[in-house]
Amino acid sequence: EAQVTQNPRYLITVTGKKLTVTCSQNMNHEYMSWYRQDPGLGLRQIYYSMNVEVTDKGDVPEGYKVSRKEKRNFPLILESPSPNQTSLYFCASKDLETQYFGPGTRLLVL
Amino acid sequence: AQRVTQPEKLLSVFKGAPVELKCNYSYSGSPELFWYVQYSRQRLQLLLRHISRESIKGFTADLNKGETSFHLKKPFAQEEDSAMYYCALSKKNTDKLIFGTGTRLQVFP
């Protein structure tokens, strides 16, 4: 089944403890992206990647890192999480026309 | 600057009533417009795109370049339409999506 997967789905952590949220797609898409979803703000793009080893900042990249070492994976890294990064995170990949979203990762930073 | 505005945070209607979820955009050029839907506890999924001029689950949306709008309409709402709806814009031939803040549609029996 063609899909985008994320892990973990839920995560509670403390300020400053590095974490990684994984994202994987099995559709051989070149474009992948990370969004955060917050009430009243909708979805905002954090980082995106046009292809392997090609990444760029979205609208809200501060406090995040990404890497794209292989086409199928696009992990989101929080080196030193802070409470304002508590949010719902979505990974997406895109073919020629459509973005496909992962199930979301709900993160709580205490 | 590119922007998508959804003025209503919440829209509540009764089953069988017509629904219109508003979306306005600002973009200098020819945008591509989309509606995405997120049902409770599910992932975001594409509902429809303006270039397809299609009707999905009874929903339609017409791009009005004069009013820079892309409102989503359905003549008779169903309870299963209750969800969060996001309007999104993409520059032609690019991959980036710019989302509105979303409208929660509640359809009461």
Closest chain A residue to the Cα of B92, Cα to Cα: A97
Q: How many CB atoms lie within 10 A of CB A90?
A: 25
Provide mean pLDDT across the span B73-78.
Answer: 96
Determine which of A97, A98, A100, A105 to mutate to test the interface with B (most B C-beta atoms within 10 Å): A97
Percent of chain A with pLDDT over 70: 100
Q: Which of residues 26-45 of A touch B (CB under 8 A)?
A: 31, 33, 35, 40-45
The answer to whether A42 contacts B99, with C-beta atoms less than 8 Å apart, is yes
Strand runs labelled E in A1-110: 4-7, 10-13, 19-25, 31-38, 42-51, 54-57, 65-66, 76-78, 87-94, 99-101, 105-109
Tell if the CB–CB gap between A43 and B86 is shorter than 8 Å.
Answer: yes
When pLDDT is cut at 50, 70 and 90, the band that residue A96 belongs to is confident
- Indicate the average pLDDT of chain B: 91
Shortest distance, CA B77 to any CA of chain A (angstroms):
23
Does B31 sit behind a cis peptide bond, omega within 30 degrees of 0 on the bond before it? no
Q: Are B87 and B35 in contact (CB under 8 A)?
A: yes
d(CA B32, CA B100): 14
Residue bearing the bigger pLDDT, A16 or B92: A16
**Residue B51, helix vs strand vs coil:** helix
Contact between B35 and B100 under an 8 Å Cβ cutoff? The reply is no
Does the beta-carbon distance from A98 to B43 stay under 8 Å?
A: no
pLDDT of residue A110 exceeding 90: yes
Q: Does B67 touch chain A (CB under 8 A)?
A: no
Please report which confidence band the pLDDT of residue B31 belongs to, taking 50, 70 and 90 as the band edges.
Answer: confident
**Helices vs. strands in chain B: H and E counts, helices first:** 0, 11
Instruction: Copy the structure tokens of residue B8.
Output: 């209503």
Report phi then psi at B15, rounded to 5.
-50, 135
What are the CA-CA distances from residue A18 to residues A15, A110, B58, B88 (Å)? 9, 13, 45, 32
Across A26-55, average pLDDT? 93
Residue B89 pLDDT exceeds 70:
yes
Mean pLDDT of the region B7-21: 96
Q: Nearest-CA distance from A43 to chain B in Å?
A: 6
Compare CB distances from B102 to A42, A101, A103 and report the shortest one's residue.
A42
CA proximity to A27, closest of A83, A94, A108: A94
CB contact under 8 A, B95 and A31: yes
> Is the pLDDT confidence value at A12 over 90?
yes
The structure tokens 């795109």 sit at B49
Q: What one-letter code names the amino acid at A81?
A: P
Chain B contact present for A98, CB below 8 A: yes
Residue A13 is classified by DSSP as: E
